[in-house]
A and B are shown apart, each in its own frame.
Chain A
């Protein structure tokens, strides 16, 4: 079945790195995404990784994929107050298929 799990909360100090973890169950996922949702706003695609990749780096963001363990992580380097948001892990099967979302991890930044 399709299921994506994340921890609900993460608190980090400003300037530190944040690592948000996710596990998924469906090994046929082709695309794995990270979406960001700021308070009162919609869903913004932050980054994605194809299932045949192990790592993707995009400025302060690093995505790691362990396909054997069905584990995805998002690392945000030098976390800033503007990074406060809910981060959703998600999976998709083709370029136009539905997206299955995790429950979201609320990232809070402390000074």
Chain B
């Protein structure tokens, strides 16, 4: 069964460093998303992406964040200068577009020290 994959599973970085989190959505899907979950808190929407542009973003998704689909398979989230409060589990999801279900990847745990 096709699935969303994410790499790395765990990333440790120092405050102020740039990180890139990578996702490979399901191949025929058209909509892509990033969510994050700070430990013990809700899963929060960050951004959605369709047709090579951002379709919606939350107030969390400020200028420090960017997304890209550099080729036909990868979908990346870049955090330009990480802060301690960026430590969280980051989930990628994809959706075919016609149906309701968003398929989530296993997540990348980002730890900022």
Contacts and interface: CB of A to CB of B under 8 A. Distances in A.
Given A96-B31, A96-B95, A98-B56, A88 B106 contact: no
Contacts, number: 51
Interface residues of A, number: 21
Instruction: Bin the interface of chain B by size.
Output: 20 to 34
Interface stretch (A11-19, A41-49, A60-68): A41-49
B65 interface: no
For A42, A102, A103, the residue with the greatest tally of chain B CB atoms inside 10 Å of its CB is A42
Interface in A52-111: 88, 92, 95-104
Contacts of A95: 95, 97-100
A98 B104 contact: no
Interface of A: 31, 33, 35, 41-45, 48, 88, 92, 95-104
